[in-house]
Amino acid sequence: MKDVIIGSAVARNGLFLAPMAGFTDAPFRALCRLYGATYTVSEMISAAAMHFGDRKTASLARLPDGDTPTALQIFGHSPEFMAEASSSLLSGDYPGCEYAQKPCAIDINMGCPVKKIVSSGDGSALMKSPELCAEITEAVCRSADRFSIPVTVKIRLGFNEINAPEVALACVRAGAHAVFVHGRTRNQMYSGSASADGIARVREALPPDIPVIANGDVKDRESAESLLQRSGCDGLMIGRGALGNPWIFREINGYFSSGLRIMPPPTLAERIVVIKKHIDALCAAKGEGRGMREARKHVAWYMHGLRGAAEFRRMAGELETLSDLDKLLEKVYIENKDVSFDP
């Protein structure tokens, strides 16, 4: 798999970390970057909230030292608000924004299937109107062009019916530099399987110099290879497959860089060290109280595949302090130290 270039940013081996609300904050991005996700995308940022001066929203746009290349993803349905959000984020003058470096791109969310987002006309609801998608893209591109920053869009195959090729082409004609495609419609949510054939139709509809990145159901080397080959896309964006498993980028990079078909899974010791490192960074960034509340879902994901996972997930849901985490990890070690994690 080749590198993918978007503006001045390079995704090595074409691997991207998908934006996921509540998950892809700076500490998680840093961890995934360590294992090979060289291009990451922020949690989605509300353009309307920014318009009305919500300082909490700005915290989602913080890019600490080393958090590059990272794109900032915005969502909304007003071309004016979306362009305004882009300008505020790229100028860095919005209260609460903290940049050690500028974002590498602005990504437009046209794919979120969550009811709360869709009912406001945002996210994947935009795909019901290719014309509005193009209007928003054009407005954001005009804003971003002032800072020489590219604009990308993240879409689904459609809302009810597949119209992703039409939407993608409209966005590219309006100025989008790349398209990320999740292989389901909004109505499917996350049920069934992502359609590589549906994504391939988007690749076929766009000029060859526009990167098209496939997203959906990548959970290991085999699924990555299959989606890439069947879709004909330029790269892969990994979302849920990275939750509790940042090593997925190492596994896929190992295959595409060196042809390694079997990458040893993380040892128990590495799992424990990484969990501790992740949650320590989360608490350092957000304070122990908030950090531990947010840590509960992350730690629960890390428990997948361990002996005693159900009990560990229950304990993860009750974490209050870093001391609680240490006690949980000690229990994880004791109950799994004789388990082989060899493939």
Alpha helix ranges (H) inside 67-212:
79-91, 115-118, 130-145, 164-173, 196-205
Catalytic residue list: 112
pLDDT at residue 343, as a whole number:
46
Domains of the chain: 4-258 (3.20.20.70), 268-336 (1.10.1200.80)
Q: Which two tokens stand for residue 206?
A: 């766009």
Q: Are 246 and 276 in contact (CB under 8 A)?
A: no
Residue 316: pLDDT over 70: yes
Average pLDDT over residues 96-120: 91
Give the pLDDT confidence of 221-245 residue by residue, as tens digits: 999 999 999 999 999 999 999 999 9
Continuous segment of H or E residues that includes residue 10: strand 9-11
- Cβ-in-10-Å burial (0-12, 13-18, 19+) of 100 comes to exposed
Full-model pTM: 0.94
| Percentage of the chain lying above the pLDDT 70 cut | 97
* Torsion sign, CA atoms 286, 288, 290, 294: positive
Q: Which residues, in sequence order, are CB contacts of 68 under 8 Å at separation 6+?
A: 101, 104
Q: Are 184 and 157 in contact (CB under 8 A)?
A: yes
Q: Does the N-terminal peptide bond of residue 69 adopt cis geometry, omega within 30 degrees of 0?
A: yes
Distance of CA 51 to the CA centre of its chain: 24
Q: Which two tokens stand for residue 343?
A: 């493939």
Give the pLDDT confidence of 252-294 residue by residue, as tens digits: 988 887 766 677 889 999 999 999 999 999 999 999 999 999 9
pLDDT at residue 260, as a whole number:
63
Could you tell me which of 206, 229, 201, 228 has the C-alpha nearest to residue 215? 228
Distance of CA 106 to the CA centre of its chain: 13
